[in-house]
Amino acid sequence: MLPRFWARLAWAYGLLLVLGVFFVAPFLMGFLASLKPDPLEWPFRLRFAQVSPKNWLAAWGLGRAGSGDPWLGGMRPGREVALEVAYFVPRGQEPGLSAQIPRRKPGAGMGAVFESPYAADHVRLEGPFLLERRPARLGEAEGEVYRYRLRLVYPAGEGPFLERVPLDLEVERGVVLVGATLDPTRFERRGRVASWDNVVPGLLGYVFHNYVRAFRETRSLETGESLFLRWTLNSFLLALAKVLTTLVFASMAGYALARMRFPGRQALFLFMLFSMMVPGQVTFISNYLVLRDGIFGLSRLFGVETLLNTYTGLILSGLVGAGAVFIMKQFFESIPREVEEAALIDGATPLQTLFRIVLPMSTPALGALAILTFQGTWNEFFWPFVVLTSPREIYTLPIGLLSFRSAYGQVGDWGLILAGGFFSMVPVLILFAVFQRYFVEGVSVGALKE
């Protein structure tokens, strides 16, 4: 009997493990792809430069040497950076190494719009200096390994802060790069050119290069502030406002439907259930007209001619959903009436009973409702896309990511798009991981009715 029990237990845990890998693997692959300079590479490699501890240490040291900031790197006047590279040269051939700091824009799409200082105008490249030459073998080929050092010097004095210092190294055909202080970003011209987008990246600037670009390159043409940061803050503020209004109004409406007796209560509840069956695409035109023109001049009460392109209109049009009221009603009906009757005997009013007695007992339902509301608002695209059209500073994160597709997708810069999409999932994942206990309890308890 005991072996059969352990066999069943092993099957159960094995199945859960397989399902976990099945659902987590795409998430992990997406995260790893967002770190790569070319997320579309095939075959997909799990070992690449951005996950190498050796490159982490190198990026940290180069960033600190270039600007004193080991995290985000860059280069300031009066700083000097040294980079070493090693090439395998087949017998009877010379490396023919040449180095240059190219005049390269910081990125495609939005990053190419702004004028930024070129490192080639400020940084002096010294070298390459030959440090070592020794016999070696690479596969079946015999030859020598040449080790060089290059110095990048930013003369002291007045000069702008450089966020990036690119570097290109070109060799003769057949010469192979076998080592470097920091692995290059990519190889060009069939491996003849090793190219670094930034030789002073810092740890975060190297490992999370696409994420740093998302914040740095997406800037407002008028103010110069980071649009990606602004979109993220906009989504946070809108989600928090929706969570607060939903918790307050859903609790009050759910308690009224669950406990109070008034004419038309059942009809109101049935109408609420019916409204849950109507998709938002059916009513969005009428809702749009209400926000644009107002009802009896309602929008003028807020000092504006229209509620379009405002967060006031976006919040007012979705203060509370019927689904949230339904969840709270079902949960309140699972609370014993004797608790409320005891509060009534002590002289508590219905509002006092709700806020002092019932709501403190409804933590699981409130936690679940807060998570669902935050997730729904954070990921909502259709209605904000209709209401918020201009300027770009008022966009929420999902709408901003759509502009990424038009700005970067046309030039094939998918790394930044993937980084932005993956970043948008992080807050919801953190919220669920922290409050998953309340979510599970709220869903399970709220579904029962004694």
pLDDT for res 112:
64
Two tokens at 157?
């004095």
Q: Bigger pLDDT: 390 or 203? A: 203
The alpha carbon of 287 is separated from its chain's Cα centroid by a whole number of angstroms, namely 30
Give the pLDDT band (50/70/90) at residue 66: very high
* CATH number, domain 227-446: 1.10.3720.10
> Tell me, what amino acid is at 105?
K
Q: What pTM was estimated for this model as a whole?
A: 0.86
Task: Please tell me which residue, 437 or 175, carries the higher pLDDT value.
Answer: 175
Mean pLDDT of all residues in 9-36: 79
Give the best-scoring range by mean pLDDT among 77-86, 112-121, 423-432.
77-86
> Which of 104, 395, 30, 34 lies closest to 226 in space, CA to CA?
395
Q: pLDDT-derived band of residue 81, with 50, 70 and 90 as boundaries? A: very high
- Per-domain boundaries in the chain: 49-217, 227-446
Q: Is the pLDDT of residue 441 over 60?
A: no
Interval 85-109 mean pLDDT? 87
When pLDDT is cut at 50, 70 and 90, the band that residue 165 belongs to is: very high
Measure the CA–CA gap between 227 and 400, rounded to whole angstroms.
8
pLDDT at position 21: 67
pLDDT at residue 199 tops 90: yes
Say what the alpha-carbon torsion angle 422, 425, 429, 435 is, to the nearest 10 degrees: 160
Structure-model confidence comparison of residues 435 and 306, the more confident one: 306
- The pLDDT tens digits of the residues spanning 98-144 come to 999 999 876 666 666 677 889 999 999 999 999 999 999 998 899 99
Which amino acid type is present at position 81?
V
The secondary structure element, H or E, covering residue 344 is helix 337-345
Q: Which residue has the higher pLDDT, 18 or 230?
A: 230
The pLDDT of 385-390, averaged and rounded, is 90
Share of the chain above pLDDT 90, in %: 46
